[in-house]
Amino acid sequence: LIYVTGHGGDQFFKFQDEEELTAQDIADLMDALYAKKKFRQALFIADTCQAFTLFDKLTTPNVLALGTSLKDENAYAHHSDKDLGLAIIERWTYAFLSGYHDRSNPQTTLHEIMVAPFASKQALGAHVGIKEDTSARKFKDVKIAEFFGPKKGTAGSKRTKAPNVEISEASAVNVPQDTYPTLPRNLQVNTEDSLDWHVLERSAHGEGKVSPVNEEEDYSSGSNAI
């Protein structure tokens, strides 16, 4: 799954108004990934102005591509952040995420959740374009679950706790204490990205201990666009 959003035009996509990614760049990228067998089925989504023109040069097998606007059409923001003074998410992306979380199930197809709700230009102020001519499987064939994991609260959404690993004294390797960098006292490392990360705490006496963090918490992904 590849997703891009931001400033776009006829066959180009801009990064910070300094660099551009062209339709030919995308075609070359997908050809290279396919040649190296990096995917069996790819989904490329572009949510920009004139987004569908980014796929004008694309001929790679097994790639499904979706652009949220056609040539000479704009993609519009759903809402802005007053403090940032920026649009933070596009209309298509916002509507797709809402539909995915509220109405999809494991049998929902890409077409049902990404294409069909936007058949009318009134929904987005633009037309959604799809490219599937080089793929044996079409948007109506591929399930959303193939690219997006289980939703929060559904079966399979909880990650399994990693099993404990025991190391016998006979197999243990003695490593000199000064091999590891000295950690500052009272150091605490936190992360919210994995259920199996641990917190390393060092007391005022220099004694360290490891304890599990958020082992039972569910996580769900989101998407921001600028």
Q: Which of 147, 76, 151, 144 is nearest to 116 (CA)?
A: 144
130 contacts 184 by C-beta, under 8 angstroms: no
Which residues are part of the catalytic machinery? 7, 49
Please tell me the distance from the alpha carbon of residue 165 to that of residue 168, in angstroms, as a whole number: 10
Residue owning tokens 């220099």: 206
